[in-house]
């Protein structure tokens, strides 16, 4: 591994760590606002990654580092504890807790987009000829701005992935947890109860992994065309 490759890997890991921590902190903060103090008691209402790493060391440390070394892309997971009895009593509030995670990543996508637009206005960034996960934006001048363009590209891409993947309406994804917002009466409570099956969760993760690439490609193109109005990324 060259020094450049190592620097890229470290950048990807730091972006992953911050983005996932922000996602879980949003879950925890929303749960606290809704009356469930479980995640707050565990220290998860914070963007300090240490409590989140302490809760999920394999998903936050081992898995992303191993996948970075083997795939060039960090894969991992984290979790914020939720009182299941509170969730069953308050299915709508629990649904907002689920939705808070993906929405936090969407917020970070907009933050990255704002920084990219500011760089374009300042004459240091431009739309890339060919866009991919490491080149959402290109530097005009090179040097430090080229490094910042790489960081913003990783930040934009990582959070778009986290937003879209977690929003899939397949248990145990957050999108499935948010469905009680659309369900009438006690259907939300019964749906949340059905999501607690471990076998259903394993099947859901497998299905999400299979369908996500086909869904994400057009979403990425749509995001790029929104980022650069008048462009034709496909």
pLDDT in tens, 113-144: 999 999 999 999 999 999 999 999 999 988 89
The predicted structure's pLDDT at residue 185: 66
The pTM is what? 0.93
Domain presence at residue 29: yes
How many whole angstroms separate alpha carbon 132 and alpha carbon 37?
A: 40
* Residue scoring higher pLDDT (72 or 100): 100
Residue 184: pLDDT over 80 = no
Residue 197: pLDDT over 80 = no
How many whole angstroms separate alpha carbon 120 and alpha carbon 141?
A: 12
Residue tagged 């996948």 (tokens): 67
> Residues 195, 176: contact at Cβ < 8 Å?
yes
Domain presence at residue 112: yes
Mean pLDDT lowest among 21-25, 45-49, 108-112, 203-207:
203-207
The predicted structure's pLDDT at residue 155: 98
**What's the chain's average pLDDT?**
92
For residue 163, what are the CA distances in angstroms to 54, 89, 107? Answer: 23, 27, 9
Domain presence at residue 108: yes
- What is the extent of the structural domain holding 78? 3-227
Q: What percent of the chain has pLDDT over 90?
A: 73
In total, how many domains does the chain have? 1
Domain presence at residue 233: no
């Amino acid at each position: 591994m060259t020094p450049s490759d190592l620097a890229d890997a470290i950048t990807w890991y730091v972006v992953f760590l911050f983005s996932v921590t922000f996602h879980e902190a949003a879950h925890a903060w929303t749960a606290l606002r809704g009356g469930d103090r479980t995640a707050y008691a565990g220290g998860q209402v914070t963007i300090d990654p240490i409590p989140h790493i302490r809760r999920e060391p394999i998903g936050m440390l081992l898995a992303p580092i191993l996948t970075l070394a083997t795939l060039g892309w960090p894969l991992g997971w984290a979790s914020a504890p939720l009182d299941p009895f509170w969730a069953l009593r308050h299915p709508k509030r629990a649904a907002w807790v689920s939705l808070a995670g993906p929405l936090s990543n969407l917020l970070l996508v907009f933050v990255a987009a704002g920084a990219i637009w500011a760089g374009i206005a300042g004459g240091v960034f431009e739309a890339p000829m060919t866009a991919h996960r490491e080149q959402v934006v290109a530097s005009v001048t090179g040097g430090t701005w080229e490094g910042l363009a790489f960081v913003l590209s990783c930040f934009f891409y990582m959070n778009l992935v986290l937003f879209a993947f977690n929003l899939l309406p397949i248990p145990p994804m957050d999108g499935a947890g948010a469905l009680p917002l659309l369900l009438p009466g006690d259907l939300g409570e019964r749906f949340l109860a059905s999501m607690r099956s471990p076998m259903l969760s394993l099947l859901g993760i497998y299905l999400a992994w299979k369908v996500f690439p086909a869904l994400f490609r057009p979403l990425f193109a749509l995001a790029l065309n929104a980022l650069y109005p008048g462009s034709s990324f496909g």
